[in-house]
């Protein structure tokens, strides 16, 4: 099968021919239709992830996967032709975190698709049946691809970790794939959404997706939030950037007793916060990692109902993966680039 793989971190991805994976008991073989290109893929290809130094090369990246079942035993509950989304975090089910119902924080993953294990930049993948979620009719593979990460991650951040409620004011800072999805999920929760970014193109898209106001990061954004909330500040700020400066800006835009939810991060990076922010102003700083399967099912239902959409900037063939990564690294992508994997 065709695959685009990391051969070495200093070189572009290479087109290679790999064997179709073996289908073990309890697994389902899928033909990968599309795969979104996320900034985590860019960092993986560049060798800038925590696991990079121990990752065995060649490695196939890509974790936002939409596929079609080609081989499945009856006991799996799937049939050939079913279209599916891959949940890329294969938790062990036995560690303390899994036993507490926190599979997204598993301490002993059996696989992390596209990160430490083969991912979606290849034509076929064998997946445990319980890690597949059905794709409702009417959603194209191109629209579906970013669902597992961009939409799923934003759903958990906004609904579970931020606990957004109707009527609240939510600021989304950083309007990449996760940020644009977060804005839409906040709107679906009945919140009033404001958008902040350093790129006017992203602000334009945010307004089309329902942002009531938008502003460039910095003083303009702080002034926007002050004016919109009559000086109170936002109930919630979703920060998808993950830099010390962005965390500080988020705190400045948050009201007393409000919440900052961090989704973005920099490997090895540190960020300081003012102690009076989280003590005297009682601001909560909350992290949010990926999504749990039941949350992802709800996110898919929002997509199916038309309450949210995945923002797809471009669709390219698998062989153009290097072009997609280069555009992403250069800041030229709004939303997601999607690779059409199978011909």
Per residue in 21-63, pLDDT tens? Answer: 999 999 999 999 999 999 999 999 999 999 999 999 999 999 9
- Whether the pLDDT of residue 273 is over 90: the answer is no
Q: What confidence score (pLDDT) does residue 276 get? A: 82
With cut-offs at 50, 70 and 90, classify the pLDDT of residue 267: confident
Q: 86 burial class (0-12, 13-18, 19+ CB within 10 angstroms)?
A: buried
pLDDT of residue 133: 98
Binned at pLDDT 50, 70 and 90, residue 252 comes out as very high
Task: Please state the rounded mean pLDDT for residues 128-150.
Answer: 96
Q: What is the distance in angstroms between the CA of the first residue and the CA of the last residue of the chain?
A: 11
pLDDT tens figures, 176-229: 999 999 999 999 999 999 999 999 999 999 999 999 999 999 999 999 999 999
Least confident of 5-19, 152-166, 262-276: 262-276
What is the percent of the chain with per-residue pLDDT over 70, rounded to a whole number?
100
Q: Kindly report, residue by residue over 157-189, the tens digit of the pLDDT.
A: 999 999 999 999 999 999 999 999 999 999 999
pLDDT band for position 266 (50/70/90)?
A: confident
pLDDT band of 248, cuts 50, 70, 90: very high
What is the residue-averaged pLDDT of the chain? 96
Give the per-residue pLDDT at 343: 78
Strands 83-86 and 64-71, sheet pairing: antiparallel
| 272 has pLDDT over 90 | no
| Under 8 Å between Cβ of 287 and 280 | no
Say yes or no to pLDDT of 282 above 80.
yes
Distances (CA, A) of 208 to 24, 82, 147: 46, 33, 20
Whether the predicted model's global pTM rises above the 0.85 cut: yes
Question: Quick one: what percent of the chain has pLDDT higher than 90?
Answer: 94
Examine the pLDDT at 275 and tell me if it is beyond 90. Answer: no
pLDDT at site 24: 94
């Amino acid at each position: 099968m065709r695959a685009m793989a990391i051969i070495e971190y200093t070189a572009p991805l290479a087109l290679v021919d790999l064997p179709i994976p073996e289908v073990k008991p309890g697994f389902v073989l899928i033909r990968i239709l599309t795969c979104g290109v996320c900034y985590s893929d860019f960092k993986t290809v560049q060798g800038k992830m925590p696991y990079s130094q121990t990752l065995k090369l060649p490695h196939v990246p890509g974790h936002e996967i939409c596929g079609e079942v080609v081989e499945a035993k009856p006991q799996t509950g799937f049939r050939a032709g079913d279209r599916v989304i891959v949940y890329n975090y294969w938790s062990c089910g036995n560690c303390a975190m899994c036993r507490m119902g926190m599979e997204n924080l598993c301490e002993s993953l059996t696989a992390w698709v596209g990160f430490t294990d083969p991912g979606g930049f290849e034509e076929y993948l064998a997946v445990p049946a319980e890690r597949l979620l059905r794709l409702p009719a009417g959603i194209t593979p191109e629209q579906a691809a970013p669902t597992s990460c961009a939409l799923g991650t934003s759903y958990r951040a906004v609904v579970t970790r931020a606990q957004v409620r109707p009527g609240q004011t939510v600021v989304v800072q950083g309007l990449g794939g996760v940020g644009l999805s977060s804005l839409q999920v906040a709107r679906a929760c009945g919140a009033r959404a404001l958008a902040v970014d350093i790129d006017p193109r992203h602000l334009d898209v945010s307004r089309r997706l329902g942002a009531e106001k938008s502003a460039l990061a910095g003083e303009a954004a702080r002034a926007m939030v002050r004016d919109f909330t009559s000086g109170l500040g936002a109930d919630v700020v979703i920060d998808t950037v993950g830099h010390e400066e962005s965390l500080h800006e988020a705190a400045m835009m948050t009201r007393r007793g409000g919440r900052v939810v961090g989704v973005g991060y920099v490997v090895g990076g540190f960020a300081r916060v003012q102690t009076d922010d989280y003590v005297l102003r009682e601001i909560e700083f909350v992290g949010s990692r990926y999504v749990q399967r039941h949350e992802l099912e709800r996110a898919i239902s929002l997509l199916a109902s038309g309450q949210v959409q995945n923002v797809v900037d471009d669709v390219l063939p698998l062989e153009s993966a290097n072009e997609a990564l280069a555009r992403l690294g250069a800041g030229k992508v709004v939303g997601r680039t999607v690779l059409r994997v199978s011909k």
